[in-house]
Amino acid sequence: GAVVSQHPSRVICKSGTSVKIECRSLDFQATTMFWYRQFPKQSLMLMATSNEGSKATYEQGVEKDKFLINHASLTLSTLTVTSAHPEDSSFYICSARLGRGLTEAFFGQGTRLTVV
């Protein structure tokens, strides 16, 4: 399957600082990328959908100003958690689709964010 690389895999930051997570599609161009959040022993909750060259579409309840998403190219999307607080600690996962039609979504390895 296609490869999606997410970096970093783990990050610890202090409250009030910002953290950037990168998601790259290594062997294909991803017109659409998705960002999910996963709490322990729970399923993946969609945060936002990111289309290359346009603004991200956020799910209800997700703060746009806190979770900044940029999809600058067909192979890179970034999620920046701004002014992080301990409640933002979670497992963040990105996903990329091969094209606009019905295709499989491939996932990155995930990023474990801990805010202290």
State the nearest-atom distance from the C-beta of 1 to another protein, in Å.
Answer: 5
Tell me the three state secondary structure of residue 79. Answer: strand
102 binds another protein (CB under 8 A): yes
Q: Applying CB under 8 A, does 95 fall inside the site for another protein?
A: yes
According to the binding rule CB under 8 A, does residue 66 interact with another protein? no
What six digits make up the tokens of 100? 């606009």
Binding to another protein by residue 108, rule CB under 8 A? yes
Say whether residue 93 binds another protein (CB under 8 A).
yes
Q: CB of residue 104 vs another protein: minimum separation in angstroms?
A: 6
Between 43 and 54, name the residue whose CB sits nearer to another protein. Answer: 43
Largest CA distance in the chain: 41
Closest CA to 93 of 78, 77, 107, 76: 107
CA distance 15 to 88: 10
Dihedral of the alpha carbons of 79, 81, 87, 91, in degrees to the nearest 10? 30
Nearer to another protein by Cβ, of 4 and 84: the residue is 4
Residue 104: other Cβ atoms inside 10 A: 10
Q: What is the DSSP letter of 55?
A: P
Q: Does 62 bind another protein (CB under 8 A)?
A: no
Residues found near another protein in the complex (CB under 8 A): 1, 4, 6, 34, 41-44, 46, 49, 91, 93, 95, 102, 104-110, 112
